[in-house]
Amino acid sequence: MINHQIKVAFDEYSSLQELDITDRELCLQAVKAMENSHSPYSKFSVGAALKLQSGKIILGSNQENVAYPSGLCAERVALFHWGANHPDDLIESMAVTAHTNEFKLLKPVTSCGSCLQVMAEYEKKQGKPIRVLLYCIDGPVWVINGIENLLPFLFFEDRLA
Residue 108 interacts with ligand THU (CB under 6 A): yes or no: no
Catalytic residue list contains 148: no
**Strands 91-100 and 131-135, how do they pair?**
parallel
Considering the complex, what minimum distance in angstroms separates the CB of residue 39 from ligand THU?
5
The footprint of ligand THU on this chain (CB under 6 A) covers a number of residues equal to 13
Nearer to ligand THU by C-beta: 54 or 104?
104
Point out which span in 21-29, 49-57, 107-115, 138-146 binds ligand THU (CB under 6 A).
107-115
Interface residue with ligand THU among 16, 33, 34, 46 (CB under 6 A) is: 46
**What is the Cα–Cα distance from 77 to 39, expressed in whole angstroms?**
14
Interface residue with ligand THU among 32, 52, 71, 126 (CB under 6 A) is: 71
CA distances from 141 to 18, 37, 39, 95, 159 (A): 9, 21, 23, 10, 33
**Strands 44-52 and 141-145, how do they pair?**
unpaired
**What is the Cα–Cα distance from 53 to 81, expressed in whole angstroms?**
16
